[in-house]
Amino acid sequence: MHIAVLDESKCHSKKCNHECQSYCPPVRSGIGTITFPEETNYPLITEDLCIGCGICVNRCPFGAIKIITVPDELNRDLVHQYDENSFRVYSIPLPSKGITSILGPNGMGKTTTMNILSGVLIPNFGDYENGGSRDRVLKKYSNSILGDYFASVYDKTKKVVLKSQFVDQIPRVARGTIGSILKGADEFGMADDVISKLSMENSLDKDVSIASGGELQKLAVAMALIKDGDILLIDEVSSYLDISERIRVASILTDLARKGKTILVVEHDLAILDWISDQIHVVYGSPGAYGVIVQQKSPNKAINQFLEGYLKEENVRIRKERIVFESKAAARRILTSELVKWDNIEATLGNFKLVVSPGKMELGTVTGILGRNALGKTTFVKILAGVLKQDTGNVNPQVRVAYKPQYISTEFEGTCEDLLYKTLKERMSDSFVKNELLRPLGIDPLMETEVSSLSGGELQKLSIALTLAQDVDLYLLDEPSANLDSSSRMEVAKIIRKTMENRKKTGLVVDHDIYFIDIISDELMIFLGDPGKHGIAMGPMPMRDGMNMFLKEVDVTFRRDHNSGRPRINKPGSSMHREQVSQGEYYYS
């Protein structure tokens, strides 16, 4: 069976004179397959005539067409298709008591699935012309647990609450302070309790227009919790939150599950996913084309098979290479010449004060930064970038810097190609930029796409590519893993490390994904203090010292999975947690 997917945003049929049609073997033999309806002038591919040769894919100069061969039996589980030659989702997970999670790459229908389960989107089972029907859904799943679920959602006997992944859009739809928004939505008198549980007291007077990503994420979670739903659908809960905040939110969700709530979670932090899930559905497919949600597995089996890239029960390989976790406790840096150093730095922003102890960075190394939110990590990066001026202290010498900010602007009017050429100019012809950055980061297929229409993950990859492609001495990357799925995070980590090692460059990376930081870093800077009031930055220091200092501060320990080596969070108060605390080994046990 061949499925055809067309991205109309990339298709410029008038520019290429319908090359995809001209070279299609069935068309040339008189059968048909590819037509151009007058009302759209976009190619329409008749899937039951397509032979899957892939010539149209290769002939399209804009990367607008995908022809994918999938097993015929998938058609029996087609849940939703947006339009002809468009994205489709196969099968659907079954939310049940406790916490059910969905794990998989971006662009494979996880958010579509959440919208279906919330009742916002009615599945059409492939009948995109007539659209979805609630009666058809109930008939399709009659006499099943899934049928009972949809019946309770549609007749509102069960209240469903959906927490969106797009927390950065909150300032566009809400006005006022965080506190006023929560109080205004508090129908059941739960706001004060939720504010206390999420430790939001210091953020209540802040206007959402200037709130940080972490504050917006906690606001989104709080809004979901105060609605007191029977079914909670939580889409990406850890973005912009530090490890202690992630643990706090995870604990709240597990407590609700024990009280009988039905919770479905989409998450990319494998440690958090492993910690909270009762069962996990893995998703595989082709980004932007189709997604298949497999039957639930135990958390350990699901995550290990995802990392292995092979789903044993389904006999499906979902990735060419394994994702390998290696424990690197020992120092792995080789002393090189010094690039930049700083003495005691102090900076004041309103009521917040940052104090940075003396430190230095060397050529060919990567320094990772860990710390809770609102302790001045971004402030320090901006000082190095020259965006902010410190009150006291010096950074010497002044070096060429490329800076990727935490929040990425989408205000550029034009395509990705326009932005790349405007920023990089002649460096666009550099083989390193083409082969080591744009291709592995998946930027090539996005060239004709408007920057304003990119997803969060696509925008993040484009911003990383723009930063690393510049010929500078010091690369500053603030939260490069945000909005990226687990596979992409590992790929980005490898690209950052390879860039610094091979080109003898220096990097400074701020992130909340513990293992992402461990993969890329030679040494660590740790930020401690009182969030929102004062921050103290120490280091750079050896990896083991930094990890132990940071995790001791947030009272979290990690162990390693025996099979995959992946980091797993220990339950608070467990024997493993107590043993590692007594040894002073919070991560590298």
Task: Say yes or no: 485 and 564 in one domain.
Answer: no
According to the model, what pLDDT value does residue 166 have? 82
Predicted pLDDT at 62:
81
Q: Is residue 549 part of a domain?
A: no
Could you give the CA distance from residue 212 to residue 36 in angstroms, rounded to a whole number?
47
More confident residue, 95 or 507: 507
Q: What is the mean pLDDT of the chain?
A: 89
93 pLDDT band (50/70/90 cuts)?
very high
Mean pLDDT of 557-568: 83
483 with 349, same domain: the answer is yes
Mean pLDDT of 370-394: 92
Residues 479 and 384 in one domain: yes
Quick check: 412 pLDDT over 90? no
pLDDT of residue 377: 94
What confidence tens digit (pLDDT) does each residue in 477-506 have?
Answer: 999 998 898 889 888 998 999 999 889 999
Residue 88 resides in a domain: no
Percent of all residues in the chain with a pLDDT value above 70, rounded to a whole number: 98
Mean pLDDT of 183-198: 92
Q: Tell me: do 458 and 566 sit in the same domain.
A: no
Three-state SS sequence of 82-138: CCCCCCEEECCCCCCCEEEEEECCCCCCHHHHHHHHHCCCCCCCCCCCCCCCHHHHH
Q: What letter represents residue 498's amino acid?
A: K
Cis peptide upstream of residue 540 (ω within 30 degrees of 0): yes
Query: Are 478 and 578 part of one and the same domain?
Result: no
Domain boundary residue among 10, 42, 69?
69
Asked whether the beta carbons of 482 and 351 are under 8 A apart, the reply is no
Q: Is residue 582 one of the residues assigned to a domain?
A: yes
> CA-to-CA distance for 502 and 91, rounded, in angstroms?
44
Q: Are 534 and 377 in contact (CB under 8 A)?
A: no
Q: 115 φ, ψ to 5°?
A: -65, -35
- ω into 397 cis (within 30 of 0): yes
At residue 476, does pLDDT exceed 90?
A: yes
CA distance 303 to 256: 23
Yes or no: say if 384 and 341 are a contact pair by the CB < 8 Å rule: no
Instruction: Quote the percentage of the chain above a pLDDT of 90.
Output: 57
CA 158 to each of CA 150, 224, 228, 272: distance values in angstroms, whole numbers, following the listed order: 10, 15, 11, 27
Give the per-residue pLDDT at 562. Answer: 81
pLDDT in tens, 97-127: 899 999 998 888 998 999 999 999 999 999 9
Q: Is residue 516 domain-shared with residue 582, that is, in the same domain?
A: no
Count: domains in the chain: 3
Report pLDDT for 576. Answer: 92
> Is 102 inside any structural domain?
no
Q: Is the pLDDT of residue 536 over 60?
A: yes
39-53, 126-140, 283-297, 537-551: lowest mean pLDDT where?
39-53
Instruction: Supply the pLDDT for residue 128.
Output: 92
- For residue 519, the domain's CATH number is 3.40.50.300
Torsion of CA 468, 471, 477, 482, to 10 degrees: -20
What confidence tier does 58 reach under pLDDT thresholds 50, 70, 90? confident
Q: Give domain status of residue 62, yes or no.
A: yes
Residues 483 and 560 occupy one common structural domain: no
State whether residue 3 is helix, strand or coil.
strand
For 242, how many CA atoms within 13 A lie in the half-sphere containing its CB? 22
DSSP 301-351: HHHHHHHHTEETTTTEE--SS--------S-------EEEEE--EEEEETT
Check whether residue 537 and residue 573 sit in a common domain.
no
Tell whether 455 and 351 lie within a shared domain. yes
DSSP code per residue over 481-542: TTT--HHHHHHHHHHHHHHHHHHT-EEEEE-S-HHHHHHH-SEEEEEEEETTTEEEEEEEE-
State the DSSP code for 58: H
The predicted pLDDT at position 542 comes to 92
* Residue 232 is assigned to a structural domain of this protein: no
Q: Count other Cβ atoms within 10 Å, centred on residue 217.
A: 27
Q: Is residue 71 predicted with pLDDT exceeding 80?
A: no
Which of residues 360 and 331 earns the better pLDDT score? Answer: 360
Confidence of residue 326 (pLDDT cuts 50, 70, 90): low
Same domain, 438 and 495: yes
| Domain span holding position 29 | 2-69
Average pLDDT over residues 424-430: 91
Question: What pLDDT band is residue 327 in, cutting at 50, 70 and 90?
Answer: low
459 and 575, same domain (yes or no): no
What mean pLDDT is predicted for residues 200-222?
89
303 assigned to some structural domain:
no
Residue pair 34/20 in contact by the 8 Å Cβ criterion: yes
CATH number of the CATH domain containing 24: 3.30.70.20
What pLDDT sits at residue 587?
A: 86
In this prediction, residue 436 carries a pLDDT of 93
Task: Let me know whether 377 and 407 are in one domain.
Answer: yes
In a domain, 389, yes or no: yes
Burial state string for 485-509 with b = 16 or more CB within 10 A and e = fewer than 16: bbbbbbbbbebbbebbeeeebbbbb
